[in-house]
Amino acid sequence: MADTLYIVVPCYNEQEVLQETAARLRSKLFSLVAAGKVAPGSRILFVDDGSADSTWQIIESLHQVDRCFSGLKLAGNKGHQNALLAGLMAAKEKADVTISLDADLQDDVAAIDVMLLHYYNGCDIVYGVRKKRDTDTAFKRWSAQLFYKIMRMLGADIVYNHADYRLMSRRALEGLAQFKEVNLFLRGIVPLIGYKSETVEYERKERFAGESKYPLKKMLSFALDGITSLSIQPIRLITLAGFLIFLVSLGFAAYSIIVKMLGHTVPGWSTLMVSIWMLGGLQLLALGIIGEYIGKIYRETKARPKYLVQAVLDETEERG
């Protein structure tokens, strides 16, 4: 017998795309049910991350028209990663398998069939991986490649060209639930679960309506969160830089003593100013990096909830 699938879709101000997204996902879900690949009780779960537009009203109307649509509304905007986690945890007790993807449907839904094939062949996690980045701007393509290279260099185990388009079995979700950190970076956490995984390549499409919810500022913040959540290498690099600067300072001290003994006069103003600015900059950079880690520790020790659910739309709960 086929397993129950929940398609989890985090949404933030997606009123321009939601109707079309719902229509495409409904068509895909029904074709999977008709083919016997998933159970008739499978659902599409939209998670409203505190949208300021009519996103939640659209989700409510979709649920009223067709109960294959479920909804989860968070009490305030908690960020994409928390909204995604909320949806996955809500689906964990009802679904045998989940697939997460963004509301703009730039991720090709045709890849779902191959993901399910790997799932039925014993994979607990299947990553959707972009074949290429032709739809991105040159800057975004370059910055994305740089991000993955830096993450790998710092020891973070993330899947190249993978965002949050992935399949996870119930067992994988139960493993994910055991990660208690407040600062979420699911692209790095999911590979740590360790169960059998596979990748599926797909062509990423252009957004058919609306605007991207990840401008440059958010992308940089997301990258910084990922690095500081998964690796302590930046702190080790500070230690290494401090050691190297100490060795250089010993060389300058020896040089100064020799010059003094030889009776040469060296003005030294330029060298002094360059040294002050260089060391001052390195100290501020080091304090900033250490501050990022201390800030994360501060938020973790408070143990505040990652999200609060304001409303739930689900046929199974309404029947109960």
pLDDT tens track for 139-148: 667 766 777 7
Element containing residue 294 per DSSP (H, E): helix 269-302
Is residue 222 included in any domain, yes or no? no
Q: Quote the pLDDT of residue 285.
A: 72
- Please tell me whether residues 96 and 32 are part of one structural domain: yes
Three-class secondary structure of residue 100 per DSSP: strand
The domain that contains 24 carries what CATH number? 3.90.550.10
Is residue 90 included in any domain, yes or no? yes
Q: Which residue has the higher pLDDT, 15 or 151?
A: 15
* Angle between helix 111-120 and 18-34 (nearest 10): 40
pLDDT in tens, 241-296: 777 776 676 676 676 667 666 666 556 655 665 677 667 767 777 777 777 777 77
- Please tell me whether residues 309 and 285 are part of one structural domain: no
Within 13 Å, how many C-alpha atoms sit on residue 152's CB side? 9
- Please tell me whether residues 32 and 141 are part of one structural domain: yes
Domain total of the chain: 2
Is residue 53 included in any domain, yes or no? yes
Q: Quote the pLDDT of residue 33.
A: 94
Give the domain range for residue 252: 233-302
pLDDT in tens, 205-254: 765 555 555 555 666 666 666 666 666 677 777 777 777 776 676 676 67
pLDDT band at 173 (very low <50, low <70, confident <90, very high): very high
Is residue 219 included in any domain, yes or no? no
Do 114 and 200 contact (CB within 8 A), yes or no?
A: yes
How far is residue 163's CA from residue 224's CA, in Å, rounded to a whole number?
16
- Please tell me whether residues 121 and 150 are part of one structural domain: yes
Do 309 and 48 contact (CB within 8 A), yes or no?
A: no
How far is residue 116's CA from residue 28's CA, in Å, rounded to a whole number?
13
Q: Measured at the alpha carbon of residue 111, what is the angle toward residues 13 and 199, in degrees to the nearest 5?
A: 105
